[in-house]
Copies of this chain bind each other. A is one copy, B any other.
Amino acid sequence: MTPAQTLMIAAARARLGERAVIDDRELIAPWLTDWRGRYHGQAPAMLQPADTAGVAAIVALAAEYGVALVPQGGNTSMVGGATPPSDGSALILSLRRLNAVRSVSQSEGRAVVEAGVILADLQAAADARGMRFPLTLGSRGSATIGGLVSTNAGGTQVLRFGTMRRLVTGIEAVLPDGSVHDGLSSLKKDNRGYDLDQLLIGAEGTLGIVTAAALTLVPGIAVRAVAWAGLRSPEDALALLRRIEARTELVESFEIIPGDTLALAIAHVPGGRSPVVGTHRWHVLIEAASGDPQADPAATLETLLANAIADGLVADATIAASEAQAAAFWTLRDSLSAAERATGPAAQHDISVPVPAMPRFMIEAAAAVEARFPGTHATAFGHLGDGNVHFHVRAPAGADPARWYAHDAPVATRFVHDLVVAAGGSISAEHGIGQMKRDELARLGPPSRLAALRAIKTAFDPQGLFNPGKLVSLARDLPAT
């Protein structure tokens, strides 16, 4: 522990009480490693204030003593974004005690919740009032609102209601000078200069600590239909999506799955079976839902799928006959990553390209990777309607995992990222940059954009104390050229 850290921790204890400061190494340990076990950090203490004023007090002390802070919610980052540096130079600032649902308004379609509220708890609070918070993802039982805002999280139901950016109407945050930015006012129109809320969304805690957010709620689901279809190609899948979109606005999910990856999931899930008969090269999972009990998304999907079969666009399709069957469909989708992981080491990439370019990219990029790295198997699945797939490169059979992760996977990753950039895409569609992709972001530029990111970071956080080492390197940390 540095002398500055010692002084700051003592000041925080004096100011906020015993409970706000944890320095028991056993209690801190679970929060030093990311949930996938890839990143390991050190932190001499974890601060856990109970409210926004407490966060502001800690930030003011951090500025005074020059101590860095790593904000943390549910610790479910996919890119090491919430793991402290390994040199112990930063303290963890846990937002988990800020867990109040401040308000839920059905008439306004709006909830104001604190950063530490767990996504599943927000969903339950909305459900209890006949409303719904439409964003969801696998880690919903752990991920917190502050982290979801700070990473502009996506998930499997982005198609209709968008990512977090679209669902956030205002933010409360503590800025690096210790002041509280209050953007929760819920004004539908406000043109008073640069939009600080938008700047803080997706900033990964590098510009401010999000303490609360105002969020859009939509009417609760009255009826839903979950369908599964087997078809020939990603092109046909996108053509099917366009047909469906032309007919209804109710589609919330449109997930594409390769046949061989589905086979892994079926083997992985106890009692798993394919929703459709026969073998198909590609599958799609479609969900349509409505808050209007008189809507009939099942009938709409049924007609569309029947026509698509008649036209030869779809080989076979089915609509879940019960909620249990719908849940079974989703279990297969949600098991893809785990099923793939069980087959051996792989390099995973969360990437996006423009939607119309995605079908071709999926085929051509996979072929290019397999040609360049003999023995690998490249496969992509996920959110076709968002132009966002998870592109996995499986190591050759018998590869040594340690060697793969240390040497081969990074080479494959740079190759995949170069293909993505060539296709006009993004190397981070929904997971953020964190520490995992920081150097790749710096490598792939463009330089003027990186300069703008660094200028913003320096303007907000001149001491570099907010989530150091994540997202963007400060100019002073760059090698001299």
Contacts and interface: CB of A to CB of B under 8 A. Distances in A.
Nearest to A180: B448
A198 interface: yes
A189 interface: yes
A410 interface: no
Contacts of A298: none
Interface string A182-217: 100111111111111011011110010000000000
B460 A242 contact: no
B441 A193 contact: yes
A253 interface: no
Contacts of A182: 446
Nearest to A472: B193
Interface stretch (A18-26, A84-92, A450-458): A450-458
B181 A449 contact: yes
Contact of A430 (B175, B189, B472): B189
Contact of A165 (B195, B196, B353, B459): B195
B187 A191 contact: no
A429 B191 contact: yes
Contacts of A432: 191
A177 interface: yes
Nearest to A452: B196
Contacts of A431: 191
Interface in A208-248: 242
Interface string A345-358: 00000001111100
Closest 4 A-B residue pairs measured CB to CB?
A: A179-B448, A459-B459, A198-B198, A455-B459
Interface of A: 107-108, 151-152, 154, 158, 163, 165, 175, 177, 179-182, 185-196, 198-199, 201-204, 207, 242, 352-356, 383, 386-388, 424-433, 441, 446-449, 451-453, 455-456, 458-460, 471-472
25 contacts: A154-B189, A158-B188, A163-B189, A179-B448, A187-B424, A188-B388, A189-B352, A189-B387, A190-B426, A191-B428, A191-B429, A191-B432, A192-B433, A193-B204, A193-B433, A193-B471, A194-B203, A194-B452, A195-B201, A196-B449, A198-B199, A199-B199, A199-B456, A456-B456, A459-B459
